[in-house]
Amino acid sequence: MQNEIETTLIIDAVKQIGKQFLDNYKKKEIPKTKDAFLTQLEEIETTCFNFLKPLINQHYPHIPWVADDEFDPTAQLQPADYEQYWLCDTMDGAVQYIQHLPGWTINLVLIRNGQPYFSVIYDPICDEVFSARQSAGAYLNGSRIKTGVKADTDVMVAVFEYGHQAKNTSNFEQKIASSVAHLIKTFGVVRNYGPHALQLAHVGAGRIDLFLQEDLDTHNWLAGMLIAQEAGAELLTSDGQPWMWGTENLLVARKEIAALYLAS
């Protein structure tokens, strides 16, 4: 195992491909058919992988890459069977990119011993890089970040997310309705800002106070979870238990804010 990685090199690579996508942003026609839509999605994934993998493999040829299949629930229930591996969300928020909307990022996470070890999220439109390494803190454009310190729920911002894959629970609609109602009753503002991992990074930066999702979406979470956790947030299930890989929901917030939500 390579115990150390050159984080600056990885961050620079992610920024480079992000800027390439920014250069081509809004230049393609918004697709009008499903086939055209899927073609653009495939082009985004191919372009990103064809750039990142050879560049990073020059320095870390023995670290494998694992496909980010967010539509396969089984693949997200446990880590891949490698000591360490790269998991790349080629574009979190690709739908927004294709639709000429903001809210898309390039995410890369190194999983080591079954846990996120290093992650980077690049938001090209804002030119913001969120990064974190296990037990070494979280950063935004090189400056240390911490979760927010609000005490008044009337001025807190909560976000609610959902995944696109098939749902595993029969009471999913009821669970969604109940959770959204709970958020609205508890917090002054409830929103959704698109990319899952970026919203989790915003929890780490104090821009969002609580993140909640009631369905399995592990691969979309991992890069942002590490950043939020290293910035001081707790990773919990939606009923307040410690989050574990394979849990089909996620609640992320500073400890005191999570407690306010769970007790309300």
List residues forming the annotated binding site for Mg(2+).
Answer: 89, 92
What are the DSSP calls for 190-217, one per residue?
A: EE--S-HHHHHHHHHTTS-SEEEE-S--
| Cβ neighbours of residue 89 closer than 8 Å, sequence gap 6 or more | 68, 105, 106, 107, 108, 197, 219, 220, 223
> Quick one: CA dihedral 95, 72, 74, 78, positive or negative?
negative
Q: Per DSSP, which regions of 124-209 are E strands?
A: 128-133, 138-140, 143-144, 157-161, 189-191
105 with 198: CB under 8 angstroms?
Answer: yes
Q: Can you tell me the distance from the alpha carbon of 160 to that of 144, in angstroms, rounded to the nearest whole number?
A: 26
Binding-site members are 89, 92
